Amino acid sequence: MPTAGNNIPSPKRLKNEARKIRQRDPQLSQGAALNLAATAHGLPSYKVVERAWRSRDRASSDHAVTLTASWGDRSRGDWGRIHANVVLSEPWPNFLPLPVRRRIGSLGRFHIVGGDRTRLASPEDYASFLSCAHHLSKAARQLVFVDALRVLPVSLAKTVAAFRGDPHRMLSSRYPDQDHESLWRDPDTGLHFILNEPYQVDQQKQAPILAERGMVAFTTRDWTTHNPEGTLAQLIAPVSEQTLLQALCKRGQALPARFDEITFTDNDGRLLDIFRS
């Protein structure tokens, strides 16, 4: 049996297509129209599609989250909705308290839909498809980032105390701006660290600043939560915490594969190939 998600259209999409088929041929029954819609995609019948999606839903419903964002381009009269489909290792409230989730950059802007914590939606309509895709992708990646590393956002004041000094202006005049730089803590080890996600790093400028502050940075281009098309990730912490930071970076090696598991679909269930790492 085909697996839902592997280019198998959703039942909702086939129902929309069946409705259009019946508009052209009103004598067709709903069942016949659904089967025609399925066979147009090279599938045996609508029931096969329905079973595939039910099987997928049973396998992942407890750990799956769908994030939804809308966009509208008034100048072109164009609009749409994008869904990011994420499968977590366990339900997110188990490792991410609701008030804490609200403090995580893009992810915090998404609201729970109708009390269903497997559905999160942005109340904001973005101005273009690309803007919508960027913010949605970032929110989905931040959720996976927290799931994989089991870290939580932390305040500047607590980071200052952990770093035994003020990291303000260490990396940029806007730091921390909740955009390219964010502050995190590993509850298990007590490690506080900076996640810096620039488009590029001026090593000659940064190295002396880090050395002066007694900080160490691990840099990777294998993953980023900010913009998969261009940014990199730096994890920065005091030199005294280098061993803990190395262990955290090792856990981060799972992120590229986890990010690639995020799928994006339009409102008809069609897969969208956007922001793949």
User: For residue 274, what pLDDT is reported?
Assistant: 77
Higher pLDDT, 257 or 57: 257
Contact yes or no for 198/235 (Cβ under 8 A): no
> Mean pLDDT score of the chain, rounded to an integer?
86
Confidence class for position 58, pLDDT limits 50, 70, 90: low
Beta-bridge partner residues of 241: none
User: For residue 99, what pLDDT is reported?
Assistant: 94
Show the tokens assigned to 268.
Answer: 């008809």
Positive or negative, the CA dihedral 21, 25, 30, 32 is negative
User: For residue 126, what pLDDT is reported?
Assistant: 94
User: For residue 47, what pLDDT is reported?
Assistant: 85
- Stretch 10-16: mean pLDDT, rounded? 89
- Walk across the sheet containing 111-113 and list its strands: 111-113, 116-126, 64-73, 78-87, 263-265, 271-272
The pairing of strands 263-265 and 192-196 is unpaired
List pLDDT tens digits, range 184-211: 999 999 999 999 999 998 888 888 888 8
List pLDDT tens digits, range 202-243: 888 888 888 888 899 999 999 999 988 889 999 999 999 999
From CA 262, how far away is CA 17, in angstroms rounded? 26
CB atoms within 10 A of CB 107: 24
Beta-bridge partner residues of 86: 65
Show the tokens assigned to 118.
Answer: 């497997």
